[in-house]
Structure 1
Amino acid sequence: MTLETKSLSKMDFVYWTSLVSGGVAGLVVDIVLFPIDTIKTRLQSERGFIRSGGFRGIYKGLAPAAAGSAPTAALFFCTYDGLKSYLGQFCSKTQQPYVHMISAASAEIVACLIRVPVEIAKQRRQVISLRYSTSLEIWLHALKTEGIRRGLYRGFGTTVMREVPFSFIQFPLWEYFKQNWTAVTGTALTPFTVAICGAIAGGIAAGLTTPLDVAKTRIMLADENVSKLGVSRILHGIYRDQGIKGVFAGFVPRVLWITLGGAIFFGFYDLTARLLSSDQAK
């Protein structure tokens, strides 16, 4: 086997591992923590928590979320791990955080191609007062009345604006915590400790990017006229009417959801990757 063939096989294995590990991790997180996500969405809704459903029907919207979680997470990690492996060979150790940031930001943009239509269906189902029957009805209505860009992909730019800063914070922190875990704690890096690193990194990133998440939710749930407003104008309007509390609406469930989700997601991702690596070694 030539060096080129070995390199290609290794790269194929990276993509395969990322595809399976990311898909499994994403699906587990979305199913287990879905009620917390529903509460967060209803807190951020312009209609208010109670009118949006309160604690009733907290699993509404699970179907599109579950259907989209695996391919979204798989697409993200295929892009992230692929770019990280490729760019990493051209950069020094001190430049690795920039590699992680670029890889994560690029992966988020690619993943949003699936994430945004799924989010639209999921969040409109989560807000009970909108009275949509099925996810398919939501997509068909959006496509018929607003088209692809303003319907199925409404809020794409805002979602990217939320995900890129989130990734800039989360992934360099996650990689840094993993790299220094053994040196600081004196214990080996296991799927459990990888999960802890992911939880801490995710919680920090979630808290700092909550206002962008609020703007994204308002745009996806709003009527067409409101959805055309920019992020800054939407946040300014929320601040004017509700103050800083409105801008950070859903802060607690968002941080809780992503902290727990980060632990489950990165833990399952690392565990699945290790299992696949051990099978490959055999």
Structure 2
Amino acid sequence: MATNPQPPRPTFTTSLLAGAFAGTAVDLALFPIDTIKTRSQAPGGFLGNGGLKGCYRGVGANIIGSAPGAALFFVTYDYTKGFLSARRHAKEITEGGPSDWEAPIEHMVAASLGEVAACAVRVPTEVVKTRTQAGQHPTSLSALQAILAQHKTIGVSGVWGQMYRGWSVTIMREVPFTVIQFPLWEAMKEYRRRKSGREEINALESGVLGSVAGAVAAGFTTPLDVLKTRMMLAQEKTPFFTMLNQILKDHGYKAFFAGIGPRIMWISIGGAIFLGSYQWAANTLTEKRHGRPL
């Protein structure tokens, strides 16, 4: 029985460059929608936090963090996925029998590790960006300077805590998100590869599938996104469950779905740009390396 050709495993350089390109492209394109979502979730609501004014406020922090964050994600994701996939195929050869059911688990593990790695860069830039978007500071630089200036009163460890404010809830949001998005994206990619008989899908196909996967994941993880936003905007560090109870007490369950429309729209479009851009860059680099089209 003929098997569908598998795409070449991305090299470290391919994952690094394609990831950086994808992260920069999506953040620059969709930053205004992210601002609307953030202002909707912040205390005071959308209009109270500036409405449509200054929708690119905080973009500086995002530009600095988007490329290395996405690069770290894909380097970790592609390596882990390739490593686990190679072990699975070796097991199939030695023990016999297909083990395709393990593939989604591999993608979940790889995506989770990728997100943890990416958050090392993403969380500090997210803190600066969120405070700027919410109108607490006029620019990303002033937001960063305000945090760093606190070292005189709270010390270096305190500043570190400020920069990584919301780390735990960001991980709690991003890991479930990727556990939904990437296995779904990979499954749809594999289906499309089998239907077309090609080694790899093209950028447009990847973008469409990424949009669908992102929209589904975004809807399910909006409550965690609201918690993340509130924790990052809090003047003092607030424990996860304290913030959870405070939101429930003050605003009820509906508050956990604040900004769900912009979030789904943003991530749906973002999934198309992010995974479409990544696929285009990865395919281009791989074709140059192998000297043939995929």
- TM-score, length basis structure 1: 0.89
Aligned to 1:281: 290
> Runs of 5+ in structure 1 lacking a partner?
1-9
Whether contact under 8 Å (2:147, 2:159) holds in the other structure is no
Whether contact under 8 Å (1:155, 1:220) holds in the other structure is yes
Aligned to 2:86: 89
Q: CA deviation at 1:234?
A: 2.0
> Would the alpha carbon gap of residues 170 and 223 (structure 1) be closer, same or farther in structure 2, given more than 3 Å must change?
same
Q: How does 1:32-181 map to 2 (within 5 A)?
A: 32-91=29-88, 92-130=99-137, 134-141=142-149, 143-146=151-154, 147-181=158-192
> Runs of 5+ in structure 2 lacking a partner?
1-7, 89-98
> Would the alpha carbon gap of residues 131 and 264 (structure 1) be closer, same or farther in structure 2, given more than 3 Å must change?
closer
> Residue 63 of structure 1: SS of its match in structure 2?
helix
> Would the alpha carbon gap of residues 164 and 190 (structure 1) be closer, same or farther in structure 2, given more than 3 Å must change?
same
Point out the more displaced range, 141-150 or 20-29.
141-150
> Residue 186 of structure 2: SS of its match in structure 1?
helix
> Residue 56 of structure 2: SS of its match in structure 1?
coil
Aligned to 2:222: 210
- Report the residue type matching 2:288 in the other structure: D
Q: CA deviation at 1:275?
A: 0.7
Q: CA deviation at 1:94?
A: 1.8
Aligned to 2:269: 260
Whether contact under 8 Å (1:121, 1:138) holds in the other structure is no
Q: CA deviation at 1:138?
A: 3.6
Identity of aligned residues (%): 44
From 236, 239, 246, the equivalent of 2:245 is 236
- TM-score, length basis structure 2: 0.85
Whether contact under 8 Å (2:137, 2:143) holds in the other structure is no
CA–CA distance in structure 2, aligned partners of residues 30 and 42 of structure 1: 17
Q: CA deviation at 1:202?
A: 0.6
Q: CA deviation at 1:237?
A: 2.5
Question: CA RMSD of the aligned region, Å?
Answer: 2.1
Q: How many residues align?
A: 269
Aligned to 1:189: 201
CA–CA distance in structure 1, aligned partners of residues 83 and 194 of structure 2: 27
Q: CA deviation at 1:241?
A: 2.4
Q: How does 1:1-20 map to 2 (within 5 A)?
A: 14-20=11-17
Q: CA deviation at 1:149?
A: 3.9
> Would the alpha carbon gap of residues 105 and 247 (structure 1) be closer, same or farther in structure 2, given more than 3 Å must change?
same
CA–CA distance in structure 2, aligned partners of residues 199 and 143 of structure 1: 42
Whether contact under 8 Å (1:166, 1:209) holds in the other structure is yes
Q: CA deviation at 1:223?
A: 1.1
> Would the alpha carbon gap of residues 122 and 145 (structure 1) be closer, same or farther in structure 2, given more than 3 Å must change?
farther
